[in-house]
Amino acid sequence: MAWLIAAGIALAALNLRTAVTSVGPVLDQVSASLGMSGVATGLLTTLPVLSFAVFGAVTPALSRVMGERRLLLVALALLGVGLAVRALVGSTPVFLAASVVALSGGAIGNVVIPTLIKQHFPRRAGAMTTVYSTALAVGTMVAAAATVPIQRAADGNWHIALGVWAALAAVAAIPWLALSRNEPERSRTLAHTGSGDLVRTKLAWAIAGYFGSQSLIAYVMFGWLPEILRDNGYTSGQAGTVLAVFTGLGIPISMVVPSLATRLRDQRFLVVGFAVLYAVGFAGLMTGHALWVWSLVVAVAMGTFPLALSMLALRTRTPEATSALSAFGQSTGYLIAGAGPLAFGVLHQVSGGWTVPFVLLFAVVAGQVVTGWYAGADRTVEDEYRGPRGGRRGAHRATPDRSPSHDEQDASLQVAA
């Protein structure tokens, strides 16, 4: 059953961003067809971070009621139904409502999958996080890159171009239809122990800050990099090519970073290394020369995303704590990230250039180093909230995801089954 869970996680991860990245390439046609106002269009682009924050926050409570396997099946169903409905409608309010339904499925999946990895692959968390983050990167890129060609093949019909992603969600649900019939009892009775204490730990807030800072930078770059390129003489086609390569680099990076992070007891070296790359890349983009080179430097620096995902498992010892930390870190982080693209755009409009907006990003990187330095140290949230009461602080340390022995691999498979 371990292979089925692993395949199910990979298929689910492919879908978690399709509701986000499939709309952008055809947004002009969608807004014109539906008669969207500027406010409605702006709301549509803001819905992802708001949905990830709100629905991610309630996911642990839903897990306690339903169990992670059934909840992920429900998440994929919400994703598929939302994608299908918004591809069929001709009304702006219904399109926005269906988008929220689809995004709620993605938000729930964001939180549930790290918990499933902690539950079923306790000694192979690094390898499975690599599978998860790589599949997420592939799905993000494919949905962004393939939507327009699909639209062209469908004679310009954006409804078909958006609707095909519902079929991918249906395929991803198939393994979980089988797995949800055998939900582990412990998953349906997740204890509340530590949930309240979690938000009072420095580590939880540090991880939320780190996750939020990397998300803020990512949303700014995805939203504004093409405009920066065009403003410096690139054609729309050239800007699109740079953005495609920029996004595609996330795939090999996601294959490397989680395994590297879990083999280190302390991830602060990676935190600082990525921050330096961000600083170099942003400084290069400010010069206005060789922008494609500096864009690729920033793309490599965005290895902070798989690193942040890895920390959710590395900084906890139990699936319950992973679920709580994943929900808190991601929901709070996305709230932080939501203001980024808007603030960047306002600063650009007010200043009439790109220098002031990039100063904002340098400040975000500085904050990322501060939060990442604390989050990357060898500790767990359980150590922090149990230590003052029971004198157990430091009794358990986070351990790297080393290569297990044959006996340990067998034990891991038994847990997964």
Q: Is 262 exposed, middle or buried (0-12, 13-18, 19+ CB in 10 A)?
A: buried
pLDDT of 15? 96
One domain for residues 349 and 253: yes
List, in order, residues 6 or more apart from 390 with CB less than 8 Å away.
none
Contact of 312 with 59, CB cutoff 8 Å: no
SS3 of 329-387: HHHHHHHHHHHHHHHHHHHHHHHCCCHHHHHHHHHHHHHHHHHHHHHCCCCCHHHHHHH
Q: Tell which residue, 250, 28, 251, 69, has the closest CA to residue 177.
A: 69
One domain for residues 226 and 174: no
One domain for residues 342 and 394: yes
Report how far residue 193's alpha carbon sits from residue 85's, in angstroms, rounded to the nearest whole number.
39
Secondary structure letter of residue 249 according to DSSP:
T
Q: Tell which residue, 13, 64, 128, has the closest CA to residue 415.
A: 128
Tokens 């996911």 found at: 59
- Assess if residue 410 is contained within a domain: no
One domain for residues 164 and 235: no
- Assess if residue 23 is contained within a domain: yes
Report how far residue 13's alpha carbon sits from residue 23's, in angstroms, rounded to the nearest whole number.
18
Last residue of a domain, one of 190, 211, 226: 190
Q: Is 181 exposed, middle or buried (0-12, 13-18, 19+ CB in 10 A)?
A: exposed
One domain for residues 106 and 246: no
What domain range is 35 assigned to?
1-190
Last residue of a domain, one of 190, 217, 235: 190
Token pair for 354: 């790109």
Token pair for 395: 């009794």
pLDDT of 65? 87
Q: What's the whole-model pTM score?
A: 0.79
Report how far residue 197's alpha carbon sits from residue 66's, in angstroms, rounded to the nearest whole number.
23
One domain for residues 173 and 202: no
Last residue of a domain, one of 190, 213, 238: 190
- Assess if residue 408 is contained within a domain: no
Contact of 305 with 212, CB cutoff 8 Å: no
Whole-Å CA distances, 50 to 140, 170, 235, 400: 18, 25, 32, 33
- Assess if residue 412 is contained within a domain: no
Report how far residue 41's alpha carbon sits from residue 23's, in angstroms, rounded to the nearest whole number.
11
- Assess if residue 414 is contained within a domain: no
What is the phi-psi region of residue 241: left when phi exceeds 0, alpha when psi lies from -120 to 50, beta otherwise? Answer: alpha
Secondary structure letter of residue 25 according to DSSP:
G
- Assess if residue 409 is contained within a domain: no
One domain for residues 273 and 392: yes
Q: Tell which residue, 168, 43, 161, has the closest CA to residue 95.
A: 43
For helices 236-248 and 250-262, angle between their N-to-C axes, nearest 10 degrees: 20
One domain for residues 225 and 325: yes
One domain for residues 212 and 157: no
CATH code of the domain containing 384: 1.20.1250.20
One domain for residues 232 and 372: yes
Report how far residue 272's alpha carbon sits from residue 370's, in angstroms, rounded to the nearest whole number.
10
Contact of 70 with 78, CB cutoff 8 Å: no
Residues in the chain: 417
One domain for residues 169 and 119: yes
Contact of 109 with 72, CB cutoff 8 Å: yes
One domain for residues 202 and 132: no
Tokens 């994608």 found at: 83
Report how far residue 262's alpha carbon sits from residue 269's, in angstroms, rounded to the nearest whole number.
13
Report how far residue 304's alpha carbon sits from residue 146's, in angstroms, rounded to the nearest whole number.
26
Token pair for 409: 């691999």
Q: How many structural domains does the chain have? A: 2
Contact of 375 with 275, CB cutoff 8 Å: no
pLDDT of 154? 93
List, run by run, the mean pLDDT of 10-residue segments along the chain (417 residues).
Answer: 91 94 85 87 83 88 88 96 94 95 95 89 85 91 87 93 95 92 56 60 94 92 85 82 85 91 92 97 93 95 94 86 87 87 86 93 97 94 66 41 39 34
